[in-house]
Structure 1
Amino acid sequence: MIKVAICDDEKNIRSYLASLIREQKAECEITEYASAEEYLSSGMGHDLLFLDIALEDSASGMDGMGMARRIRGMEQIKQPAIIFVTGYEKYVYDAFEVEASGYLVKPVNEQKFAEVFSRAQDKILSETEQKKKTLLIQYAGANKAIPLDRIYYMESRKHKVVLYIKDGEQASLRSLEYYAKIGELEEELQGQFCRIHKGYLVNLSCVDEYSRTEIMLANGDKLPLSKYKYEDFVKAYLRFMQ
């Protein structure tokens, strides 16, 4: 499911773009916004944003380019692929400033729309697949991508999570601590990782053996297995192994 937002102050343009999106071979959830203020106050979280450059917003005076700059400056939110919709080709070069995925000139041509949408869709799906293979975290003031196959397990420690990561080709693990919630990681990484205890999330590919009370990892580390999590762990482990 691709979450798509359309932000344009003209209702007929929003409706037209929504109809073109529905014609594409993609499962989409479409939300329409009439102003920058309305979009920015929505919580966002979209994969793809169709944005009118000449957007008029009486409340903030922010146009589409200003809104795009604001979005790109928000490091803590999910960054959407942006496709500008404009009545003037002179704005096209400004799109590079905010790393736009494309632009459409009004009146929007259906074939051109399909081409631009297809490229954005491929980019979104590729990034989604890549995210499944890595964990992106905020560490030491920068974004850090950690391959999931190098993470043996995670431990909840107050308001932080400690990652135990395979150290090079050695069997030993090094730890990395950052601000996160283990419950959110459990949901994000389900399928490859399983919550075995209120304080631990384990990489199922690193499990060597287990009993009703304990899990032994491939490097020899032992973790407690909660009696309340035992059945869910066994089901998750068997599904993963299959």
Structure 2
Amino acid sequence: MIKFAFCYEHDDTLSFVKNEVQNCLRQREIEISVLCCHNACELAQRAHSGCPDILFCDLEQDDATLRSAIMNVKRANNRLICVSTAASHSAHAEDILLEPLYRMPALNRKHLWRYAALAYEKILDEPASFTYYVRPSYLRVPVHEIRYFASEGRRTHIISADCRDTFYQKLDVVEDLMRHKNCRFMRIHKSYLVNASFIAGFSRDYVLLTTGERLRISKYEYYQMLTNQLKSLKNTKLRYHPSYSEW
């Protein structure tokens, strides 16, 4: 069971954040373990008996003690994901050590639900697979089987060797998640993210997949990036190498 920690000074804020996150995940039939605290000292004490996987807190306050406590939790569980409200001042230099660190634009129901789901999906993620939610459950697909993603508004279609499915997530978010996978995925259009292993060839206007499908390249900038990225793959060690040509 995934353990969530909530660290907020005021009880009303703590209760609001905890309840909204739990409501979001219960709607997806997900039960979580919960740890609540009000300050750095309580976080350190309660995390000692079991480190959280996901921490909701307020890093907008420039609290060195809280950051130090979170860093200690991060050392004990390097998979820790932090979710905080967006800082009104410049990001703290040490925040890079807390990555992945998500910053919510505001502390409201809409953003809490969005970032609770995002953090949960991130903690489930593995380098060799992609996890997404289609009611009533999370699904996992090996990344080397995914041919491409295609977006349509807030919906993203995943096309793999065995299925075509649709889930709610922006393609920009999917692209960020795929950067940490064992396969290389390339953006060729605002609506297409393609697995390089399935690219058989490309021109200025289209990418040809090994399946025979043709996907449009929307901008010259995408064509340039595709050309450079495919050439760079010759010098990388991937399990699945693309076999492509330019025509």
Distance 1:224 1:207, change over 3 A: same
**1:153 corresponds to which of 148, 164, 168:** 148
1:2-81 correspondence to structure 2 within 5 Å: 51=7, 57=11, 60=12, 71-75=21-25
* CA distance, structure 2, for counterparts of residue 129 and residue 160 of structure 1: 21
Residue in structure 1 matched with residue 165 of structure 2 by the alignment: 176
Residue in structure 2 matched with residue 119 of structure 1 by the alignment: 76
Residue in structure 1 matched with residue 137 of structure 2 by the alignment: 142
The amino acid that maps onto 2:136 is: G
The amino acid that maps onto 1:120 is: N
Q: Confirm or deny that 1:210 pairs with 2:202.
A: yes
* CA distance, structure 2, for counterparts of residue 158 and residue 129 of structure 1: 25
How far 1:196 moved relative to its partner?
0.8
Q: For the Cα contact (< 8 Å) 1:155–1:162, is it kept in 2?
A: yes
How far 1:225 moved relative to its partner?
2.2
The Cα offsets for residues 52-80 of structure 1, whole Å up to 9 and x where unpaired, read as: 9xx763xx2x778x96676455439xx99
Distance 1:49 1:134, change over 3 A: same
How far 1:152 moved relative to its partner?
0.3
Q: Confirm or deny that 1:188 pairs with 2:145.
A: no
Q: For the Cα contact (< 8 Å) 1:81–1:120, is it kept in 2?
A: no
The Cα offsets for residues 180-228 of structure 1, whole Å up to 9 and x where unpaired, read as: 2223323332472111123211111221222222212222222222342
The amino acid that maps onto 1:137 is: Y
SS in 2 for 1:226: coil
SS in 1 for 2:231: helix
The amino acid that maps onto 1:234 is: T
How far 1:122 moved relative to its partner?
5.8
The amino acid that maps onto 2:169 is: A
Alpha carbon RMSD of aligned pairs, Å? 4.5
Q: How many residues align?
A: 167
Residue in structure 2 matched with residue 131 of structure 1 by the alignment: 126
**1:238 corresponds to which of 231, 236, 247:** 231
Larger radius of gyration: 1
Q: For the Cα contact (< 8 Å) 2:153–2:170, is it kept in 1?
A: no
SS in 2 for 1:131: coil
The amino acid that maps onto 1:208 is: A
SS in 2 for 1:121: coil
Q: Structure 2: give runs of 5+ residues left out of the alignment.
A: 54-69, 82-98, 100-121, 236-247
Q: For the Cα contact (< 8 Å) 1:214–1:222, is it kept in 2?
A: yes
* CA distance, structure 1, for counterparts of residue 10 and residue 130 of structure 2: 38
SS in 2 for 1:136: strand
